[in-house]
A and B are shown apart, each in its own frame.
Chain A
């Protein structure tokens, strides 16, 4: 007897039913939508990369076929602008924010997940609600806070204020995420560690933290990327171009016609991706690993 599932001597291995003609059309449409989406994302990126290396582009980016490979825009960036200072500022703010957020979130996430205390629920709700208010809404408060603190401690620069704002926001949101993750780790591990001789701090440091590492890596990555992406706060809070972050600094290349240079802006944007991509590669192993499997019978 002929096997109806056998087609051209090839076994049909998929667990899904074979496609109907209508299904084929639907699938085609799905791919079309996805393709358009991909183009919408990739085309501007491609233009940015091409313009950054195109020696034929001047001040304004023109979309045409003239292309000549050149590094002149990069040279302009390094010689004529404060690009390196901005990179340094941004890295300083990003790294400090990431470290500060990680440390604080470790404490808060662990505490909210493992301890029962008065006001636990209420404070969790408060954190949740505060999330809904945009950070920028507090801008006047930030100015006041900064002037008060810096009058007491003159070393408290506006950059430090920025770090405080970023990590403050990060701690609130990420506490939730880490709490959720730690909740999923069996508390029998804590008990076992305690019997084995750990203090609360050691339980976190030796047992919970290594297991929660994928989530901590994501939190670190997000907190690190934040200052790269944000334009508004540094633009308003930082007044001296020497203290600008990348986003604020690069914006002067397209907003102010005295310093206008669009291809240099494209080149700067391209280079901005370098530290983020580097960090991503470093954390890649942590981000994808599922360490928690196998600790308890699953």
Chain B
């Protein structure tokens, strides 16, 4: 089912400002769309509006080509997995999963078959007759998924379903969810604040902040072509280094004049219009070059070394105390208080207009 949001806006009762406004989004059939954003950016509100749990103040919500604004939740043909799982505590796992079908007066035989089918797929057959309080967090998570699956909904909604699991289990469930999505092919909308979940699971990411969509696209674009400074900083860990400066004679010179970068040929053309204007440079920690001479370099003193195994994160300081984060392969030797010069991978530098924050190249 294709889900289309046209100029959607939401204003809560008793609030001055719109929480969300001018949200335009198209989620294609069979997409796994992840809505990503920091807390309070309105992503859960958006999901709840699609679910029909919150009203839509303005704009249109279309499922296929049917307008859904005033359709009650139960008639939208959706299923939702909640952050807290929201299993009914007084019912067994089986009854939890069967509940939505029995509310629809489905025949007992069909209900049983569907529940068993989902239980088989999620490997929860062994505790179908336990109460939710008697099973572990990971198992509850599966039950919550199963409860949503038995409905065979047109749209699957998930509100941070993995945030209550421990790190190992989360990694495991992430893969399971992707596998499930491939198997079922249901259009899914998934809300999270975790960029790893977004990058690994999504076929389409929507990054939101301040009630606006900052960028929508495939994961690869987000990392390699962030649309603005917010996206650049939000995606990627460690965070991208942002250096503010000006373009002078086709060269980027930082405000403290310690960093000078000669842009690549293709970037130079795009930067022509920004001569003598404020521009910010973004460079990912792993795109610094080290151990040789690469044209423009900066010399910096290593302040703190974080050893992560496969990589080392260097927190370095320039002469004036400005901090940069550099990531190097784990087997390179770096010690604190050493001074090194680092070069830039010219092809991977992101230029942003400082004023608007938008991407230039």
Chain A positions within 8 Å of B, measured between CB atoms, are: 116, 186, 188-189, 191-198, 202, 207, 210-211, 291-297
Contacts and interface: CB of A to CB of B under 8 A. Distances in A.
B84 A188 contact: yes
Given A210-B90, A295-B86, A195 B51 contact: yes
Contacts of B99: 193, 196
Interface in B29-76: 48, 51-53, 72-74
Nearest to A210: B90
Given A291-B89, A291-B90, A296 B84 contact: yes
B100 A196 contact: yes
B86 A294 contact: no
A195 B133 contact: no
Nearest to A207: B88
Contacts of A194: 53, 72-74
A242 B6 CA distance: 73
Interface centre among B13, B133, B140 (most CB of A within 10 A): B133
Interface string B252-265: 00000000000000
Contact of B53 (A189, A191, A294, A295): A191
Interface of B: 13, 48, 51-53, 72-74, 78-80, 82-90, 99-100, 103-104, 131-134, 137, 140, 147, 164
A202 B104 CA distance: 13
A194 B76 CA distance: 11
B80 A292 contact: no
A191 B104 CA distance: 17
A294 B73 contact: no
Contacts of A292: 89
A292 B87 CA distance: 10
A192 B89 CA distance: 12
A188 B83 contact: yes
B186 to A, nearest CB: 15
24 contacts: A186-B84, A186-B86, A188-B82, A188-B86, A191-B53, A191-B73, A191-B82, A191-B86, A192-B82, A193-B88, A194-B73, A195-B53, A195-B80, A197-B74, A197-B100, A197-B103, A211-B90, A293-B89, A293-B133, A294-B132, A294-B133, A295-B89, A296-B86, A297-B85
Contacts of A296: 84-87
B83 A197 contact: no
Contact of B87 (A191, A198, A291, A295): A295
Given A116-B13, A194-B72, A293-B133, 11 more contacts: A189-B88, A191-B80, A192-B82, A195-B80, A197-B74, A202-B103, A210-B90, A291-B90, A294-B132, A294-B133, A296-B85
A87 B137 CA distance: 52
Contact of B104 (A197, A207, A294): A197
A186 B83 CA distance: 11
Nearest to B89: A295
A273 B248 CA distance: 95
Contacts of B132: 294-295
A211 B86 contact: no
A186 B88 CA distance: 10
Given A189-B88, A197-B103, A294 B131 contact: yes
Given A198-B74, A297-B137, A297-B164, A192 B80 contact: yes
Contacts of A193: 88, 99
B73 A195 contact: yes
Contacts of A297: 84-85, 137, 140, 164
A204 to B, nearest CB: 13
A191 B147 CA distance: 14
Given A188-B83, A191-B82, A194-B74, A211 B89 contact: yes
A192 B134 contact: no
A143 B84 CA distance: 53
A78 to B, nearest CB: 44
B92 to A, nearest CB: 12
Contacts of A116: 13
Nearest to A196: B100
Give 6 nearest A-B pairs by CB, closest first: A294-B133, A295-B89, A296-B84, A197-B103, A196-B100, A188-B86
Nearest to B140: A297
A295 B86 CA distance: 6
A211 B133 CA distance: 13
